[in-house]
Amino acid sequence: MQNETTRMTRIGPLLRTNKAAHLADVAVAFAVALAAILIVLPLVGDHPLARQAVIWVANVVMLAVVWLGLRLRGQKWEHLGLSFRFAGWRPVVATILKSLVVFGAAMAAFVVGSVLMANITGMPEAADTSAYDYLRGNLPMLLLALAAVYVVSSFGEEVIYRGFLITRLAELGTGGTWAMRAAVTVSAVVFGLAHFDWGPMGIVQTGFMGLVLGVAYVVGRRRLWVLILAHAYMDTILMVQMYLPVE
């Protein structure tokens, strides 16, 4: 145990200052997701629930990779802007209020993406959300899906695409304003592409949404819980929409 601690103490500073290590951290995390898309998804066929489960499991594994990278560096979740300490009710209320503002801005960005794609394609194409058809009129499945989405998407995606990806990409640069702007932009593009199952419209919509969330992450002093709550509101709306029967 002591030898392991000594070895971690030596490795941590090196990984924290090595740009190649930051790049490798990102590459390994997203290689997991890419492997799930290219290898596992074809094996499960067209079953929507099975395909969704593969994506969720990939996100969980990515979170594990993020945690491992932090541990090897001797860092905690706070390095990404995620704190589990209860600081009192006033900060909680403030976080909720800020999350509502971010939620409104993200939804506005979603609409902007929709309008942009409608002008490009010449028709108001809707995002392909057929992967969620298993929720139609199924209340137990809705509740189960909400529980999973809050953990894997609302929490997991904000940790991965905002906290982890923006932080690691910014660390590849000089740490200045332009490095952070580039990191936010790349994060938004990757976030949009991660929703490839939604079709071109969905990629653009979520890309614009990711851009707003990334800006909110930086401007809001990297407080991830604000973004996690805002993301949860959006996921709730999506899940409920998929649950309601089509008229």
Residue 220 three-state SS: coil
**Tell me: the pLDDT tens digits for 129-181?**
666 777 888 898 889 889 999 999 999 999 999 999 999 999 887 667 888 99
Q: What is the pLDDT of residue 83?
A: 94
**Tell me: the pLDDT tens digits for 83-95?**
999 889 999 999 9
**Tell me: the pLDDT tens digits for 110-124?**
999 988 888 887 655
Average model confidence (pLDDT) across the chain = 87
Looking at the structure of the chain, the number of domains it has is 1
pTM for this one? 0.89
Residue 13 three-state SS: helix
Give, as one character, the DSSP assignment of residue 174.
T
Residues 6 or more apart whose Cβ sits within 8 Å of residue 102: 212, 213, 216, 220, 226, 227, 230
Q: What is the pLDDT of residue 30?
A: 92
Give, as one character, the DSSP assignment of residue 244.
S
State how far the Cα of 128 lies from the Cα of 206, in Å rounded to an integer. Answer: 12
More confidently predicted of 229 and 118: 229
* Alpha helical stretches, state H, 122-195: 139-149, 156-157, 165-172, 177-193
Q: What is the pLDDT of residue 201?
A: 87
State how far the Cα of 208 lies from the Cα of 236, in Å rounded to an integer. Answer: 19
**How many C-alpha atoms does 123 have within 13 Å on its Cβ side?**
4
More confidently predicted of 217 and 197: 217
At 3, is the pLDDT very low, low, confident or very high (cuts 50, 70, 90)? low
Angle, helix 19-35 to helix 48-73, in steps of 10 degrees: 160
State how far the Cα of 226 lies from the Cα of 228, in Å rounded to an integer. Answer: 6
Q: Is residue 37 pLDDT above 60, yes or no?
A: yes
Q: Residue 209's domain spans which residues?
A: 2-243
Contact 220, 226 (CB under 8 A): yes
Percentage of the residues of the chain whose pLDDT score is greater than 70: 90
Contact 52, 131 (CB under 8 A): yes
Q: What is the pLDDT of residue 124?
A: 55
3-state helix, strand, coil in the chain (%, to 5): 85, 0, 15
Q: What is the pLDDT of residue 197?
A: 78
Tell the burial category of 40 from Cβ atoms under 10 Å away from its Cβ (0-12, 13-18, 19+). middle
